[in-house]
Chain A
Amino acid sequence: MASIVLKRLATAIPSLIGVIFVSFLLTRVLPGDTASYFAGPAATPQAIAEVRKQLGLDKSLPEQFARYVADLAHGDLGNSLTTGRPVVAEIANRLPASGELTLLGLLIALTIAVPLGILAAIREGLWIDHVCRVIVTTGVSLPVFFTGLLLVYVFYFQLGWSPAPLGRLDVFYSAPPQVTGFYVVDSLIARDFETFRAAFAQLILPAATLAIFSLAPLARITRGSMLAVMGSDFVRTARASGLTPKTVILTYAFRNAMLPVVTTLGMVFSFLLGANVLVEKVFAWPGIGSYAVEALLASDYAPVQGFVLAMAVLYVALNLMIDLLYGVIDPRVRLEA
């Protein structure tokens, strides 16, 4: 197993190099003079040249790239212009908020989409299949920020069930002592059920928004892959051997239909990381997405660059995990690797 992990890690290296290179290019080669921005609007040419030298922008591009990589190796992503704080600290601080949101969204989507897809496949052409189709088509057509706003209107303004869409916790509550950084988990650890309820109430709408968004591809691929497996010979054999439909579907068909679903999970996660940015803006969620948007609007490049890099590294790591998960689900993949 260890050698497989190492081998797979090695294949992720070219992607990582590409990612670092692109995130460097995004700020250095493209138009816009960072030095004059740093120096301020009233700076003299000499002052700009001075700042340029300070930032190392007077050096050749390969030299700048080497410096950038060296800084990265020390875990230095530069400082934000607007807050003056190191980008790494800021991202690490805000990552749990985004993580909590994304993971719960994915969890909700999976618990609805996978059974729905299976049901649609084994009842092909019946009403549940049509329900699945409607959900899938609507899900892919709904802009994620629009879904979020609709949910806010219905559940906050009309029904009054959920709190105002303003961040992770109502002002009356204080954050639970940090263990995992996830408020919902931390408040349970601290046995503070009142805070848990408050944090969960804030979390459920944005998480549901993300879930609705990722439902469609997951349900679609589960249905398709189950249909293909249900038509195969070994399922027919299992049926002919007199196994119960439950055993046939869950043990035989479902396990084999899982591989494409897991592959899609990687793609869905990529969508979710992007959608996160929009959902965080709608719900004023203090995650890394809203951090990046604030920086973006202030033309503050270091946080944007750090954000893009962090997202890409996260995504590469996730794909790595998914590849390893293949081996757990399907022993044949393990043998080939």
Chain B
Amino acid sequence: MTAFDTTVIEAAASPATGLSATLKHARHVVTGNPITGFSFTLFILLLVCALFGPYLVPYDPLATNTVVALKPPSLHHLMGTDQLGRDLLSRVVVATRLDMEVAIFSVALVFVLGGISGIAAGYFGGWTDRLVGRLSDTIMAFPLFVLAMGIVAALGNTVTNIIIATAIINYPLYVRIARAEANVRRNAGFVQAARLSGNGEFRILLMQILPNILPIMMVQMSLTMGYAILNAAGLSFIGLGVRPPTPEWGIMVAEGAAFIVSGEWWIALFPGLALMLAVFCFNMLGDGLRDIVDPQRRT
């Protein structure tokens, strides 16, 4: 940890050299480990699908055509068609945006809420720490997916509420990390220096502590992205959140589930594979990011 602390502090002290060194190291990690390189490529692909998906696909993802219903993969429909004759490839690609949106917004939300309250808990200690600790203990007392179900059921069946529920169940994790990282730095030399030169506590929190724990939090964000995607897909699989005609991976697997027993495997398989690849991509990226940020904790 000490080696990591000094590199971070150096990076903060001299941004230019620190940044270029980090980039160099990042390039080394991406090219050095084939799996990280692969997942980085996958990430770019996901990004392209999310941004330009609707313009790239061959068919309208909502257009039904019962003449070609339930057709296995062919040259016309690379992933086959579903029970209403909709092109699965188009639906899988277009669904990327919605799934990414849910994951990104929920992770951003929990990063702000959990990150800031965690830092405050670790830095101030005392009643702030107890309050934040109690709150995350209460959330931890529930099986997390069950809590997410309950929250979406109570708040109402919308995509926004899936984002909120996913953020809430990830809250304890972010608090724990931010709290621990802020706690070890609360009396570090640079914090004392900032305090001596007349900075207020909140300014120290935002300008000194936050930038220092950002790298660790970024790793966590990448790792929880995968979990957020799984969670959202699970919720829509049981019929919460996203409503049927909308293309979304979880609900598409749910639609395909009814046809698995009669052998129409492609309806559930392709959205399921997309889901799996996206989660795999974020998990691997998270591991790769950890290698950049914290080489000592390599696995």
Contact = CB atoms under 8 A, between A and B. Distances in A.
Interface of A: 14-16, 18-19, 21-23, 26-27, 30-32, 137-138, 140-146, 149-150, 152-153, 156-157, 164-165, 224, 269-271, 273-275, 277-278, 281-282, 292-293, 296-297, 299, 301, 304-305, 307-308, 311-312, 315-316
Given A18-B134, A26-B151, A156-B261, A277 B145 contact: yes
B278 to A, nearest CB: 9
Interface string B120-163: 00000000000000100110011111111111011110000000
Contact of B233 (A15, A143, A164, A304): A143
Contact of A315 (B141, B148, B257): B141
A23 B237 CA distance: 23
B253 interface: yes
B260 interface: yes
Contacts of B257: 145, 149, 282
B279 A315 contact: no
Contacts of A301: 153-154
A85 B199 CA distance: 62
Nearest to A140: B283
A14 B275 contact: no
B119 interface: no
A206 B260 CA distance: 15
A326 B26 CA distance: 41
A138 B239 CA distance: 25
B138 A18 contact: yes
Nearest 9 pairs between A and B by C-beta?
A274-B145, A18-B138, A273-B143, A146-B272, A141-B280, A15-B141, A26-B154, A141-B279, A308-B150
Nearest to B151: A26
Contacts, number: 150
A27 B154 contact: yes
Given A143-B279, A273-B143, A152 B261 contact: yes
23 contacts: A14-B134, A14-B137, A15-B141, A19-B138, A19-B141, A31-B155, A141-B279, A141-B283, A143-B250, A145-B237, A164-B261, A273-B146, A274-B143, A274-B146, A277-B146, A278-B234, A292-B146, A304-B149, A304-B153, A307-B146, A308-B146, A315-B141, A315-B143
Nearest to A318: B143
B143 A311 contact: yes
A150 B268 CA distance: 9
Most A CB contacts (10 A, CB to CB) among B149, B155, B254 go to B149
B224 to A, nearest CB: 12
B110 interface: no
A304 B150 contact: yes
The DSSP consensus for interface residues of chain B is: helix
Contacts of B237: 143, 145, 278, 281
A153 B153 contact: no
Interface residues of B, number: 47
Given A141-B276, A143-B250, 19 more contacts: A15-B137, A31-B155, A141-B283, A143-B233, A143-B234, A153-B260, A153-B265, A157-B262, A165-B261, A269-B143, A273-B143, A274-B144, A277-B146, A277-B238, A281-B238, A293-B238, A296-B240, A308-B150, A312-B146
Contacts of B146: 273-274, 277, 292, 307-308, 311-312
B253 A308 contact: no
B230 interface: yes
Nearest to B237: A145
A307 B153 CA distance: 12
A157 to B, nearest CB: 5
A149 to B, nearest CB: 5
Nearest to B276: A141
B228 interface: no
Given A146-B276, A149-B268, A315 B154 contact: no
Contacts of B233: 143
Nearest to B284: A137
A157 B261 contact: yes
B263 interface: yes
Contacts of A153: 260, 263, 265
A269 B280 CA distance: 22
Most A CB contacts (10 A, CB to CB) among B238, B261, B279 go to B238
Contacts of A307: 146
Nearest to A220: B299
B247 interface: no
A157 B260 contact: yes
Most B CB contacts (10 A, CB to CB) among A27, A137, A270 go to A270
A18 B141 contact: yes
A278 to B, nearest CB: 6
